[in-house]
Structure 1
Amino acid sequence: MPTVRRNSCEKIMGSEENVAKMQTGTVDRISELPDFILHSILSMLDTKEVCRASVLSKKWYGAWSSVPVLDFQLRYFQKYGNSLCNCGDNTLERYFGFIDKTMQRYSMQKYRITKMHLMLHKIDEKLVSLIDKWIMIAVQNQIQNFEIVCRGNYSLPEILFCAKSLKVLKCECVKLPYYETMELVSLEYLNFYLDTFDEDMLQRIISSCPLVELGIKRGPSDYCLVNISLPWMEKSTTSGTMQSNLQESPLQKFFYSGLGHHTLWPWNINVVALKNLRNLEIEYASITDNIVSELASGLVALESLVLSNCYNLKCIKISSNSLKQFRIANALFFIKVTIDAPKLLEFSYNTDIETSLSLVRVPDHCNAQFLPLDPDLLTTVRLVELKKFLEETNFFKSLVIQLPDPRKILVDEDVLRNTGTGLPYKLSELKLCRLCGKSARNLTEFSVAAFLDALFWCCHPDVLSLTTSLQNSASELILNDLKRKVHCYKHPLRSIELDSADCSSLLSEPSKIETRFRLSWSQV
Structure 2
Amino acid sequence: MSGENEAKRQRGSVDRISELPEFILHHILSILDTKEAGRVIVLSKRWHYAWSSIPVLDFRPLYLKEFRDRPYDYDDDTVERFVGFIDKTLERYFMRKYRITKMYLELCKVDEKLKPLVDKWIMIAVQNQIQRLEIQINDLENKYKLPEILFCAKSLNYLKCEGAALPFYETMELVSLEYLILVPETVDDDMLQRIISSCPLVEIDISYYKCLTKISLPWMKKVNGGAESSGNGTMQSNLQEYPLQKFVCRGFLGELSWPWSMNVIALRNLRKLEFNSVPIRDDIISELSYGLVVLESLVLSGCFMLECINISSNSLKRLEISSNSELMKATIDAPKLLEFLCICDVRTSLSLIRAVDHCNAQFVSSCSYSTTIWLVKLKKFLLETNFFKSLLIRFHFVLDSSEIAFKEDQLRNAGTGVPYKLRELKLHGASSRNLTESSLLAFLNGLFWCCRPDVLSISTKSQDVVAKLILSILQEKAECWKDPLKNVEVESIEYPRLPSGLSVVLIRLRLSW
Given the alignment of the two structures, is residue 203 of structure 1 paired with residue 192 of structure 2, yes or no?
A: yes
CA gap of 1:428–1:128, structure 2 versus 1, over 3 A, is: same
Aligned to 2:101: 114
Question: Which shifted more, 273-282 or 375-384?
Answer: 273-282
Determine which of 428, 434, 450 is the counterpart of 1:433.
428
Give, in whole Å, the separation in 2 of the partners of 1:79 and 1:428: 52
Question: Equivalent residue of 2:323, what SS?
Answer: strand
- Contact 1:234–1:244, Cα closer than 8 Å, also in 2: no
Aligned to 1:334: 327
Aligned to 1:188: 177
Give, in whole Å, the separation in 1 of the partners of 2:471 and 2:99: 52
Question: Equivalent residue of 1:192, what SS?
Answer: strand
Deviation at 1:152?
2.7
Aligned to 1:319: 312
Give, in whole Å, the separation in 2 of the partners of 1:269 and 1:410: 48
CA gap of 1:376–1:247, structure 2 versus 1, over 3 A, is: same
Deviation at 1:175?
3.4
1:412-449 residue CA offsets vs partner (Å, 9 max, x unmatched): 433222222222222221111012xxx43353333312
Give, in whole Å, the separation in 1 of the partners of 2:482 and 2:83: 65
- Contact 1:217–1:259, Cα closer than 8 Å, also in 2: no
Give, in whole Å, the separation in 1 of the partners of 2:34 and 2:148: 24
* Structure 1 vs Structure 2 CA RMSD: 3.3
Question: Which shifted more, 390-399 or 211-220?
Answer: 211-220
Deviation at 1:379?
1.5
Determine which of 348, 355, 371 is the counterpart of 1:355.
348
Q: Which amino acid aligns with 2:145?
A: L
Deviation at 1:349?
1.1
Given the alignment of the two structures, is residue 456 of structure 1 paired with residue 448 of structure 2, yes or no?
A: yes
Give, in whole Å, the separation in 1 of the partners of 2:206 and 2:220: 19
Determine which of 404, 417, 421 is the counterpart of 2:416.
421
Q: How does 1:106-505 map to 2 (within 5 A)?
A: 106-120=93-107, 122-123=108-109, 125=111, 127-153=114-140, 154-218=143-207, 221=210, 224-226=211-213, 228-231=215-218, 233-238=219-224, 242=235, 246-259=239-252, 261-262=254-255, 264-265=257-258, 267-372=260-365, 375-406=367-398, 407-435=402-430, 439-487=431-479, 492-505=484-497
Give, in whole Å, the separation in 2 of the partners of 1:50 and 1:333: 46
Give, in whole Å, the separation in 1 of the partners of 2:144 and 2:34: 25
Give, in whole Å, the separation in 2 of the partners of 1:95 and 1:206: 33
- Contact 1:256–1:282, Cα closer than 8 Å, also in 2: yes
Q: Which runs of 5+ in 1 are unaligned?
A: 1-16
CA gap of 1:419–1:242, structure 2 versus 1, over 3 A, is: closer
CA gap of 1:377–1:395, structure 2 versus 1, over 3 A, is: same
Give the structure-1-normalised TM-score.
Answer: 0.83
Deviation at 1:279?
1.9
Give, in whole Å, the separation in 1 of the partners of 2:41 and 2:476: 54
Give the structure-2-normalised TM-score.
Answer: 0.85
Give, in whole Å, the separation in 2 of the partners of 1:247 and 1:341: 27
1:70-89 residue CA offsets vs partner (Å, 9 max, x unmatched): 22233332499x57844644
Determine which of 87, 91, 105 is the counterpart of 1:104.
91
Q: Which amino acid aligns with 1:299?
A: L
Give, in whole Å, the separation in 2 of the partners of 1:102 and 1:348: 44
Count, aligned residues: 495
Give, in whole Å, the separation in 1 of the partners of 2:189 and 2:443: 58
Question: Equivalent residue of 2:99, what SS?
Answer: coil
Q: Which amino acid aligns with 1:141?
A: N
Q: Which amino acid aligns with 2:134?
A: E
Aligned to 1:518: 510
Give, in whole Å, the separation in 2 of the partners of 1:47 and 1:99: 16
1:150-173 residue CA offsets vs partner (Å, 9 max, x unmatched): 333342332354433352243243
Give, in whole Å, the separation in 2 of the partners of 1:78 and 1:490: 62
Give, in whole Å, the separation in 1 of the partners of 2:393 and 2:457: 11
Q: Which amino acid aligns with 2:94?
A: S
Deviation at 1:127?
4.6
